[in-house]
Chain A
Amino acid sequence: DGGITQSPKYLFRKEGQNVTLSCEQNLNHDAMYWYRQDPGQGLRLIYYSQIVNDFQKGDIAEGYSVSREKKESFPLTVTSAQKNPTAFYLCASSLGTGNEQFFGPGTRLTVL
């Protein structure tokens, strides 16, 4: 089955720790995205990548980092510099920028 997988589903982090969220797709899509969703708010773009070895900051990139070494994978690291990291994180992909987006199941991160 083609799709997007995210792991883990739930993640707990202590303050001061970095954590990495996994996102993998087997749709052969060039573009991949990371969004953050907070209760009562819309989705906000953290980072996006249009092609391997290239990525761009979104609206709320501070405290986050990404890499795109393989077409299939776009991991997101939440660093200790992110002031309020507790949120629901969603990964998405599309054939190219501006094409239909498909989403993974999400990772819920809680900082203890």
Chain B
Amino acid sequence: KQEVTQIPAALSVPEGENLVLNCSFTDSAIYNLQWFRQDPGKGLTSLLLIQSSQREQTSGRLNASLDKSSGRSTLYIAASQPGDSATYLCALWYYGQNFVFGPGTRLSVLP
């Protein structure tokens, strides 16, 4: 069974800092990888989707990269803001299976 880990489980940073969230996986035969954010008590909001043939995707202050050989994806957030405070989850889609979710990283951006 594929395993997805996200380290750290929680992170606090001062406003304005650039930061990196990590997603690690044991099986590199992925179809795509998706990053989400979840606010407390809410559903998941899709941030970025990286296809297996791609190395990175960008949207505004967010940049996600994918390195299948090392089993790692990173989500880079530039110039963090208090509104970025949320839990960030990665999810991997494997051929012939369904999405496997990581446990998430809870981010707090302090004003």
Contact = CB atoms under 8 A, between A and B. Distances in A.
Contacts, number: 50
Interface in B1-45: 4, 31-32, 34, 36, 41-45
Interface string A68-82: 000000000000000
Main secondary structure of the interface of B (DSSP, over half): strand
B99 A45 contact: yes
A41 interface: yes
A98 interface: yes
Contacts of B93: 98
Interface stretch (B58-66, B68-76, B78-86, B101-109): B101-109
Interface string A99-112: 01111111010000
A72 to B, nearest CB: 18
Interface residues of B, number: 22
Contact of A100 (B4, B42, B46): B46
B53 interface: no
Contacts of B95: 98
A100 B49 contact: yes
14 contacts: A6-B43, A33-B99, A40-B103, A42-B103, A92-B44, A97-B98, A98-B31, A98-B95, A101-B46, A101-B99, A102-B46, A103-B46, A106-B41, A108-B41
